[in-house]
Amino acid sequence: MKKMKPGTLVSQIIIWIVIILLTLSCLLPLLNMVAISLSGSEAVAANEVGFLPKDLNVSAYKKLLGDAQFWKSTWISVERVVLGTLINMFFTVTMAYPLSKSRKRFRAREVYMKLVIFAMLFTSGIIPLFMVVSHLHLTNTIWALVLPGAVPVFNVILLINFFKGVPEALDEAARIDGAGPITILLRVYLPVSLPALATVALFAIVGHWNDYFSGLIYMTKASRYPLQTYIQQLTVDLTQVTDANQLKQLAAMNTRTFNAAKIVVSTIPLLLIYPFLQKYFVSGIVIGAVKE
Amino acid sequence: MKRRSVLIFLTAVLSTAAVLGGCGDSGKNSVKLSESEQAAWDAAANDPYGKYPELVTYTCGYNLTNQGADTLAGTPYESDTAENNAYTRYLRELLNVQNENEFEAITGPDYDQKVSLCIAAQSIPDIMYVSDYATLVDLVDNDLIEDLTDVYNNLACDTVKASYESYGSDNNPINTVTFDGKIMAIPKTQLSDGQDFLWVRKDWMDNLGLEEPKTLDDLAELLRAFVSQDPDGNGKDDTVGLAVHPEVYGYYPNNTFAIDNIFTAFGAYPFVWITDENGKAVYGSVQPEMKDALALVHAWYEEGILDREFTSRTYDDVVAMISSGQCGAYIGPWWSPFNVAQTSTYAAKDAEWINISCPVGESGKINGINTKPYAGFVVVRKGYEHPEIAMKIVNVNSEYSKQDKSDATKEIIENQSIAYFNWPLYCEVQPGNNAEIMTGHVQDVLDGNADVSSLTTEEQSYYDAAVRFSEAEAAGQKAESADYSQYMSRVVSMKRMIDEPADFLTPSFFETTETMKVKWASLEKIEMQTILKIIVGEADLSSFDTFINDWNNAGGAEITEEVNEAIQK
């Protein structure tokens, strides 16, 4: 191995310091949450918990795992992620592929592109959206969570740009071999686009998993809430008591340990998914596919 | 060929629409009732507690609490839902009515949002609770809700009527819901929340041999001792004086840690509309009395006898500061023992909290501010065939369930003590001083002047908590924090509230006007910035005069006009 130049060494050190600081700023809050979830409630109320649990106890987790609604909500979220991501991916791919073709081959392309961009920039307000969903009788069903966002426009544009980067020669070669558009998409474009697909899929998964708002709007029964909505409900601000009737809520307000446990448990699935998708984040597959 | 595929497509669309639309109106079954059946229905509809011959299902908006399902886990109620719980079963048994929730959400912004959504979609449930006056006006203006005048006059139980009247003829909540002589909603009453107290750690006072403070000067003395004389005896200079809410004042008396009492002691009433000597409504925060109060708070801040870091603390930080045993004095309402700041210090730091009427105004009493007499409204959808159900449920909430000592109500109370609360209609009507009345009854039993059986079911639960607390203390143990909170608030702190009444000012206006909707947020911002700057010494006291000018120019003057017009109406 060659010795580094002093200049390179300094810049390497700076880069590492920045990366480490960034990593810590993501990691420490999570660690703090884990510590709180494992601590005694008095220590938590007094802000005495840092990155290590104090008065170690697991009662919050015990209580959590015994809560039926938590499991129900988790199941709804899982359902939503699987179904929603499949729908998202189908529409993203089938929409991005034709739109990545030149105007010569797809004459109405510009019209569609403009529609797509318009839809990305302007959205309707909550109320029209709610009315559409409720008049279609989708409220309280899983479809209310996956259909309104079936076409993630941002992801479509991302994928269009990636497909555009795929060498035209690959397409031509396949056509010469007699492949139709669908075969080309499935056998040529998708295999070379795995990194992009993984990215888009990850966006879709994270988006579906983390979204609490649509659950809050479209689900009128608390028993139908997906996990994030359920958790959001537990962290609603109760500091401003407006009537003495809320006394009992206040009495039980010291649930920070319990809430921390919920947050920790709800982050675990995402933490697990990352490493699995990571192996697809290998760029440069198209490099070397064509010789010019 | 082409034509045929269009046809097929159309058929497909139409049949899908038919399937999806199938869940709409299924048509009213117009079965003719016999005379005796009709009479039974009429009798039920005209009796405050009449039971319907057949089950009546009404749709409603349901207020949830975020201490819901998870707290029920492991109790006999764990499979309860918002449509099938101790209370809904009780109502079904008693009146033969069953709620079907059109929507459920946590009381507060989430619930209000659902209400606005359903109003926008023009499909409101049969019966629902709305939390603010503006929404009620909207509903009335759009002719979406039923006139309840007859229902109220015929069916409201005595407790409900007497409770409304207890607010006085000017302040009667029924006035608020009367539009053109018609009662359009059933108002939920807002109990008078009483005055704020100074909450002090008695154990610290005893350590330093201090007397209970009364005036502002006494309070300054006490805080000085707390800051400088090591009240917790740990040999370290680590104590803070008076805790202060980051917003300083407002929402009297519900903002625990807010220091409104210091302002009212000077006759200044920030954050509310008051009547000036000419009978005109003016905004309390821009009156000259504010200056004296601000001068004093600034002086205390400089001296360090009130929390020097309050501007950078959040509410949770203040709780944490008190919980960690750094601070032994704050201003808060009578139910402060429910706050984690007290329960955790009671359990972990042997703290002994007491409430003191301090600082007092010129009259020797605390100057308090009254809250509005109504909190929310129950409305009935226009055209609903059983509008009286709303009134009957409010009757049960406010009267019947309190006096009924059957096992069913015991179940409700027990259920509520775990997961507050399970009413399909979030509306109870009580006299303004109901909390005081209840404590009086509990105190009588504790003193041996009355029998336990004389208590209502709610009072009984307070009494039981008091007994459990005393037993635990007598055995040299710490009581459960729920019992501590209940006993300290309902018995100890409330006793002071009864024995040492405050002078109350009733604000002249509670609602919002048109211009307020647009400009109030920025006006509040100017106000808060000025107040904070003056307190921490970043701006001179004279900048308060500039602020009054700015405030008036930025819309304050216009709003004041509107408020006066609204009061004239």
Give the count of beta carbons closer than 10 Å to the beta carbon of residue A269. Answer: 15
More confident residue, B534 or B398: B534
Using 50, 70 and 90 to split pLDDT, how confident is the model at B191?
confident
Using 50, 70 and 90 to split pLDDT, how confident is the model at B252?
confident
With CA atoms as reference, the chain B residue closest to A70 would be B70
Contact list in B for residue A48 (CB cut-off 8 A) is 324
Angstroms from B566 CA to nearest CA on chain A: 24
> With contact defined as beta carbons under 8 Å apart, do B359 and B215 qualify?
yes
- A16 burial (CB, 10 Å; 0-12 / 13-18 / 19+) is exposed
Q: Write the CB contacts of B388 (distance below 8 Å, at least 6 apart in sequence).
A: B45, B46, B151, B154, B155
Q: Measure the CA–CA gap between A282 and A195, rounded to whole angstroms.
A: 6
Angstroms from B62 CA to nearest CA on chain A: 9
Q: Measure the CA–CA gap between B337 and B86, rounded to whole angstroms.
A: 28
How many residues does this entry show for chain A? 292
Q: Are A247 and B103 a contacting pair at CB < 8 A?
A: no
Q: What pLDDT shows up at residue B264?
A: 95
pLDDT for B391 beyond 90: yes
A283 shares contact with chain B (CB less than 8 Å): no
Nearest by CB: B420 against A69, A216, A248:
A248
A231-243 b/e with 16+ CB inside 10 Å = b? bbbbebebbebbb
Please write down the long-range contacts of B305-308, taking CB distance under 8 Å and 24 or more positions apart.
B305/B220, B305/B223, B305/B224, B305/B226, B305/B227, B305/B241, B305/B242, B306/B223, B306/B241, B306/B242, B306/B243, B306/B244, B306/B259, B307/B240, B307/B241, B307/B242, B307/B243, B307/B244, B308/B240
Angstroms from B481 CA to nearest CA on chain A: 8
Using 50, 70 and 90 to split pLDDT, how confident is the model at A82?
very high
Can you tell me the mean pLDDT for B509-536?
92
With CA atoms as reference, the chain B residue closest to A217 would be B114
Angstroms from A85 CA to nearest CA on chain B: 25
In 3D space, the residue among B432, B454, B270, B242 whose CA is nearest the CA of residue B356 turns out to be: B242
Q: Measure the CA–CA gap between A120 and A117, rounded to whole angstroms.
A: 5
Question: How confident is the prediction for chain A on average, in pLDDT?
Answer: 83
Give DSSP secondary structure letters for B1-57: -HHHHHHHHHHHHHHHHHHHHTTS------PPPPHHHHHHHHHHHTSTTPPPSS-EE
Q: Each residue of A109-160: pLDDT tens digit? A: 899 889 888 888 888 788 888 888 988 999 889 999 999 889 988 899 889 9
More confident residue, B48 or B482: B48
Q: To which H or E segment does residue B283 belong?
A: strand B281-283
Dmax (CA) of chain A: 78
Q: Are A220 and B104 a contacting pair at CB < 8 A?
A: yes
Query: B149 to each of A228, A251, B154, B163, how far by Cα in Å?
Result: 43, 38, 9, 17
Q: Measure the CA–CA gap between A273 and A77, rounded to whole angstroms.
A: 15
Strands B367-369 and B503-505: parallel
Angle at A179 between CA A177 and CA A181, to 5 degrees: 145
Which residues 215-274 of chain A have a CB within 8 Å of chain B?
A: 216-217, 220-223, 233-255, 258
- Ranges A61-65, A71-75, B54-58: which has the least confidence: A61-65
Angstroms from A243 CA to nearest CA on chain B: 7
Q: What pLDDT shows up at residue B354?
A: 95
A132 shares contact with chain B (CB less than 8 Å): no
Give the count of beta carbons closer than 10 Å to the beta carbon of residue B54. Answer: 9
Q: Are B319 and A45 a contacting pair at CB < 8 A?
A: yes
pLDDT for B26 beyond 50: no
pLDDT for A71 beyond 70: yes
Residue A16, CB half-sphere, CA atoms under 13 Å: how many?
6
Dihedral, CA atoms, A234, A237, A240, A245, nearest 10 degrees? -20
Residue B163, amino acid:
S
Query: If DSSP codes are grouped into helix, strand and coil, which group holds residue B269?
Result: coil
DSSP B385: S
Q: Are A251 and B338 a contacting pair at CB < 8 A?
A: yes
DSSP B430: -
Can you tell me the mean pLDDT for A12-28?
94
DSSP B381: B
Which residue shows structure tokens 């009732």? B33
DSSP strands (E only) in B294-414: 327-332, 353-356, 367-369, 374-380
In 3D space, the residue among A136, A135, A142, A111 whose CA is nearest the CA of residue A225 turns out to be: A142
> With contact defined as beta carbons under 8 Å apart, do B272 and B253 qualify?
no
Q: Measure the CA–CA gap between B391 and B155, rounded to whole angstroms.
A: 7
Using 50, 70 and 90 to split pLDDT, how confident is the model at B371?
confident
Q: What pLDDT shows up at residue B68?
A: 46
Distance of CA B471 to the CA centre of its chain: 31
Residue B124, amino acid:
I
Nearest by CB: A66 against B74, B190, B319:
B74
DSSP strands (E only) in B411-527: 503-505
A134 shares contact with chain B (CB less than 8 Å): yes
pLDDT for A239 beyond 50: no
Token digits of residue B209: 């041999």
The three-state (H, E, C) secondary structure of chain A, written as one string: CCCCCHHHHHHHHHHHHHHHHHHHHHHHHHHHHHHHHCCCHHHHHCCCCCCCCCCCCCHHHHHHHCCHHHHHHHHHHHHHHHHHHHHHHHHHHHHHHHHCCCCCCCCCHHHHHHHHHHHHHCCCCHHHHHHHHHHCCCCCCCHHHHCCCCCCHHHHHHHHHHHHHCCHHHHHHHHHCCCCHHHHHHHHHHHHCHHHHHHHHHHHHHHHHHCCHHHHHHCCCHHHCCHHHHHHHHCCCCCCCCCHHHHHHHHCCCCHHHHHHHHHHHHHHHHHHHHHHHCCCCCCCCCCCCCC
Angstroms from A66 CA to nearest CA on chain B: 6
Nearest by CB: A222 against B64, B338, B417:
B64
Q: Write the CB contacts of B422 (distance below 8 Å, at least 6 apart in sequence).
A: B80, B82, B85, B86, B87, B88, B412, B415, B416
Query: B367 to each of A89, A282, B126, B265, B400, how far by Cα in Å?
Result: 64, 71, 43, 6, 36
Q: Are B320 and A46 a contacting pair at CB < 8 A?
A: yes
Q: How many secondary structure helices (H) and strands (E) does chain B include?
A: 25, 15
Residue B306, CB half-sphere, CA atoms under 13 Å: how many?
25
Residue B398, amino acid:
S
Q: What pLDDT shows up at residue B24?
A: 40
Which residues 4-63 of chain A have a CB within 8 Å of chain B?
A: 41-42, 45-48, 63
Token digits of residue B107: 């009381």
Contact list in A for residue B320 (CB cut-off 8 A) is 45-47
pLDDT for A250 beyond 60: no
In 3D space, the residue among B204, B369, B366 whose CA is nearest the CA of residue B275 turns out to be: B369
Nearest by CB: B190 against A243, A248, A258:
A243
> With contact defined as beta carbons under 8 Å apart, do A246 and A163 qualify?
no
Query: A78 to each of A90, A190, A290, how far by Cα in Å?
Result: 18, 25, 41
Contact list in B for residue A223 (CB cut-off 8 A) is 81
Q: Write the CB contacts of A84 (distance below 8 Å, at least 6 apart in sequence).
A: A145, A146, A149, A204, A208
Angstroms from B67 CA to nearest CA on chain A: 7
With CA atoms as reference, the chain A residue closest to B119 would be A127
ipTM score of complex: 0.71
Q: Each residue of B346-361: pLDDT tens digit? A: 988 899 999 999 999 9
Of all residues in chain B, the percent with pLDDT exceeding 90 is 54
Q: Are B193 and A244 a contacting pair at CB < 8 A?
A: yes
Nearest by CB: B81 against A223, A246, A248:
A223
Q: Measure the CA–CA gap between B260 and B133, rounded to whole angstroms.
A: 25
Q: Measure the CA–CA gap between B463 and B313, rounded to whole angstroms.
A: 37
Token digits of residue B92: 């079904």
Q: Are A67 and B64 a contacting pair at CB < 8 A?
A: no
Question: How confident is the prediction for chain B on average, in pLDDT?
Answer: 87
Beta-bridge partners for B242 = B306, B329
Residue A96, amino acid:
A
Can you tell me the mean pLDDT for B453-466?
87
Q: Are A45 and B104 a contacting pair at CB < 8 A?
A: no
Q: Measure the CA–CA gap between B365 and B501, rounded to whole angstroms.
A: 7
Contact list in A for residue B117 (CB cut-off 8 A) is 126-127, 130, 217
Beta-bridge partners for B197 = B332
End-to-end Cα separation, chain B, in angstroms? 71
With CA atoms as reference, the chain B residue closest to A61 would be B70
Selected residue of A236, A238, A263 to mutate for chain B interface (largest B Cβ count, 10 A): A236
A66 shares contact with chain B (CB less than 8 Å): yes
pLDDT for B29 beyond 50: no
Q: Are B191 and A64 a contacting pair at CB < 8 A?
A: no
End-to-end Cα separation, chain A, in angstroms? 34
Which residues 197-226 of chain A have a CB within 8 Å of chain B?
A: 216-217, 220-223
Radius of gyration for the alpha carbons in chain A, expressed in angstroms and rounded:
25
Contact list in B for residue A64 (CB cut-off 8 A) is 70
Can you tell me the mean pLDDT for B510-539?
92
With CA atoms as reference, the chain A residue closest to B131 would be A242
Q: Measure the CA–CA gap between B121 and B453, rounded to whole angstroms.
A: 50
Q: Each residue of B79-126: pLDDT tens digit? A: 778 888 888 888 999 999 999 999 988 887 888 889 998 888 888 999
Nearest by CB: B66 against A46, A216, A236:
A236
Sign of CA dihedral B216, B218, B219, B221: positive
| Conformation bin of residue B202: beta by default, left when phi > 0, alpha when psi is -120 to 50 | alpha
Task: Give the strand order in the sheet containing B353-356.
Answer: B240-242, B327-332, B197-201, B353-356
